[in-house]
Amino acid sequence: MASPENYVIGVDFGTASVRAIVVDAANGEQKASAVTTYERFGQGRYCDAANNQFRQHPLDYLEGLEQSVTEVLNDCDTAVRKNIRAISVDTTGSTPVAVDEKGMPLALHPEFKDNPNAMFFLWKDHTALKEAEEINQHAKKQKTDYLKYVGGIYSSEWFWAKLLHMLRNDAKVRKAAHSWVEHCDWIPFLLTGGSSAKEIKRGVCAAGHKAIWSREWGGFPPDHFFTGLDPLLEGWADRLPSKTFTADECAGNLCAEWAEKWALNTDVKIGIGAMDAHMGAVGGQIAPSYLSKVMGTSTCDMLTMPPEEVGETLIDGICGQVNGSVIPGMIGMEAGQSAFGDVYDWFKQVLAWPLQNYRSSQKGAASQVELLQEIEDGILKGLNTAAAAIQPNTDTELALDWLNGRRTPDADQTLKAAVTDLSLGSDAPRIFRALAEATCFGAKKIVERFQERGVTIKGIIGVGGVAKKSPFIMQLMADVLEMPIRVHRSEQTCAYGAAMFAATVAGIYPRVETAMQHMGQGFEIEYLPNTEMSVLYRERYARYKKLCAFIESDTK
């Protein structure tokens, strides 16, 4: 049993910021929290949305990590600081980077400091579309089905496609790079003072879902698989270890350098890292056969099931099924949508363009600039309220949610979104409502894929910013899915999940499930489906699927 003298830190590296929390391991009480936005990424540096390029500088991560943890510790009293037992982290993924032999990202070298190819390739970077398609075609020719545990389709968002794209497009980075490392594996290596890329411990979470690792073929696919794809990949698989680790295992102790920065001791344990949605599902108290939807800029849908229930079942078109990727000993299944909150933010930016353009042209009138910012900040809130008041019918505006391609089911990042049935009466709330419906219909296609393959889904657990902030969208989703949705109380489920794993790594709890029981914050609201609306949405969903088929055939 945990005692009041045990505290842990959970760190969540999101798309735009890093969040840290200090948690009492006895009961999950949050003692302090801090959020640090990424300075360079916030300025749009090294990104080119029109060309699907989204890169993040490692200095954003380093500065954000140091600042956020420093802030939370400064907000804690001496007794708490003295009794920090462990730190665990989650990050976005697949977000890999080229490192040198010492395990240092190349962008930290002066000659590569402004080279996007030497930086982390953010999860939503789709510059490797061509490489992903080549991997898919190459895999079909092999005797071993290397893609069967990643849904049968390799994505441009993932590890090997991004590596091959970098190797082909930047000879200088290619020559200097020694290995290719996921963000969630690099941070624990950093905190434990690693000095050789060979020492980096790879988590089964990212390796299994994004890098084609499997026990069935002894780790990563053999070198001949990759050299047959492109000779530039020769030797890269051999630089990766065959062994992976679950997030309840220890990566090592906090090194002296970081211990000094934070005035902690080197007895603090550092856990193996994992991807944000996987730890977010744990922080949101995932249960077997309940689909955990981590709803942020995109969605990651996590499902856990005992291996004996899964048996030989393979779910095609999802982002993988991996033993131990969410909860050790359970099969973790991942699906998701490439754009969710990003869909709403895109529409907000479209509407806000005149305000932004006018504000940037003003040379004085600070109060006027502040008013314009206030109006811009209120756009989404106003759209949610207005859209909720609209009574849709079968033929009102209809949209597709593929603004960033399609993640699942059946990944295809070349697909584009659409809005149809527009008229002179189609105002902003009506278009927004169509976009909101589209994100919910996209969620329904994922649920249907699981159900069609014989997987039972008992209900939905909603976590993340959208789940907390938009009752309209959550009720809409419950009506579309025709399932109850429980929204988790915590504002920081990913960081909480990291804290739960930290408590397990520290030996405070024997299993992460026990940590979930003691540290979980419970649920604050449940949305129940409205039968009358569900009937209407079945009709609109049928139209959505027809539109999907049309746009997909037209795109191809």
**317 phi, psi to nearest 5 deg:** 80, 5
Q: Tell me how far apart the alpha carbons of residues 355 and 338 are, in angstroms, rounded to a whole number.
A: 28
Q: What is the mean pLDDT of residues 509-527?
A: 96
What are the pLDDT digits (tens) for 307-316? 999 999 999 9
> What average pLDDT does the segment 16-34 reach?
97
Write down the pLDDT at residue 286.
96
390-404 per-position pLDDT tens digit: 999 999 999 999 999
Q: CA-to-CA distance for 247 and 88, rounded, in angstroms?
A: 8
Q: 341-488+524-555: same fold as 7-284+490-521? A: yes
Where residue 293 falls among pLDDT bands split at 50, 70, 90?
A: very high
Angle 442-448-454 from CA coordinates, rounded to 5°:
155
Domain boundaries, the chain: 7-284+490-521, 341-488+524-555
Q: How many residues comprise the chain? A: 556
With 0-12 / 13-18 / 19 or more C-beta atoms within 10 angstroms meaning exposed / middle / buried, residue 83 is middle
pLDDT computed for residue 464 by the predictor? 86
Residue 525 backbone dihedrals phi, psi, to 5 degrees: -160, 150
Q: Number of H helices and number of E strands within the chain?
A: 21, 21
**In angstroms, rounded to a whole number, what is the distance separating the alpha carbons of residues 233 and 168?**
10
According to CATH, the superfamily of the domain at 341-488+524-555 is: ATPase, nucleotide binding domain (3.30.420.40)
| pLDDT, tens only, 354-371 | 888 776 666 656 667 777
Over 50: is that where the pLDDT of 2 sits? Answer: no
Buried b (16+ CB within 10 A) or exposed e, 413-448: bbbebbbeeeeeeeebbbbbbbbbbbbbbbbbbbbe
CATH number of 7-284+490-521: 3.30.420.40
Alpha-carbon 424 to chain mean position:
38
- For every residue of 268-287, DSSP letters joined together read -EEEPPEEHHHHHHHHTT--
Note the pTM of the prediction, 2 decimals.
0.91
400 and 438 in contact (C-beta within 8 Å)? yes
Q: Is 301 helix (H, G, I), strand (E, B) or coil?
A: strand
- Find the DSSP H helices in 75-221: 78-82, 129-139, 159-169, 171-176, 183-191, 204-210
Per-residue pLDDT of 68-96, as tens digits, reads 999 999 999 999 999 999 999 999 999 99
Look at residue 365 in the predicted model and tell me its pLDDT.
62
